Amino acid sequence: MASSFLQQVADYMRTRRYAKRTIETYLHWIRFYILFHKKQHPSQLGNAEVELFLTWLAVERHVAFKTQSSALNALVFLYREFLQQPLSLQLNFNAAKTPPKLPVVLTRVEVGALLRWIDPKYKLVAQLLYGSGLRLMEAVRLRVKDIDFDYLSVMVWQGKGNKNRRVTLASELVPALRQQIIHVERLLDADLQNPVYSGVWLPYALALKNPAAPKQLGWHYLFPSNQLSRDPESKLIRRHHLDETCVRKAIKFAAFQAKIGKNVTCHTLRHSFATHLLESGADIRTVQEQLGHSDVKTTQIYTHVLSRGGNAVKSPLSLLLHGDGGAV
């Protein structure tokens, strides 16, 4: 990182336990903001310059609403937390517009077809995405200890919004998960024979509090990479988790093979989990807790795609064709 200022921001965020991807995203937008204003120091800028930058993103770059929001969050952090110069709560800028997006949901038959076609190496991950409603990164970051076989649940730590939650685990996955843990244990046994192996990465100061933890089975990733790699920060040799890009590609290809004519992504399985839970009669508050949504309004979007037999909205054309109007 060439800029000493950005390095200071990065160090500040790390000491306050911000997620790695959040740090990368915030640094990207802060750097972009500084370059936009001809490399002026942010402490010499303020509300007007932030408004100008955000408006430029929407009007000239035509960024999506979420992209502009990400930039705004980065700058709010910069001024409020790092520079101690909070921005106005009434910023006046052109907001990027985004059309409301409904979730793509698979039928149960389509989910079954997808799981039959997916590469066996990624099947268990996909089953957890659908069976427990996990986000992709939540799934690949699972540690062995996060699987609770006694209570058939999965512990998700530092999920989106840095929240923790417990989600359901399908009992049918227990044998496959036990086999996966045996696979992780075998890799660990081999790694421990390697003198340069430094154990798995642990968050924050946990490795300092428990020096033995990085080489204990429970802390290792449930879905480990096939290869050892060098930690870019510590430069130590570790075994990271499975590359999430591989899972994305596997699900895309499985959907193609299964001839599913929908835009299927990893998140589609999470959408399907929520919708099928509601279809089966689960309370919306329960689904909200399973998904980790802060606001029930976020969960309510799944009620728009439900079709509950007689309660479903009937098309007037159906009434015309099957009612007193006769065939047309």
Q: Please state, in angstroms and rounded to a whole number, the distance separating the CA atoms of residues 155 and 116.
A: 27
Tokens linked to 4: 């000493």
Other CB atoms within a 10 A radius of the CB of residue 130 amount to 23
- Taking a C-beta distance cutoff of 8 angstroms, is the pair 285, 296 a contact? yes
**Annotated catalytic residue 267:** yes
DSSP class per residue in 24-92 = HHHHHHHHHHHHHTTT--GGG--HHHHHHHHHHHHHTS---HHHHHHHHHHHHHIIIIISS-PPPTT--
* C-alpha–C-alpha distance, residues 51 and 75, integer Å: 11
List the catalytic residue out of 123, 160, 165, 252: 160
Looking at 241, 270, 271, 276, which residue is catalytic? 270
- Catalytic site residue 160? yes
Q: Hey, which residues does 229 pair with through a beta bridge?
A: 238
DSSP tag of 128: H
Is 276 known to be catalytic?
A: no
Pick the closest to residue 142 from 153, 126, 154 (CA basis).
154
Active-site residue, from 33, 135, 197, 276: 135
Active site residue 270: yes
Q: How far apart are CA 70 and CA 37, in angstroms?
A: 18
165 carries an active-site annotation:
no
Q: Distance between CA atoms of 204 and 207, rounded to whole angstroms?
A: 8
Just list the catalytic residues.
135, 160, 267, 270, 293, 302
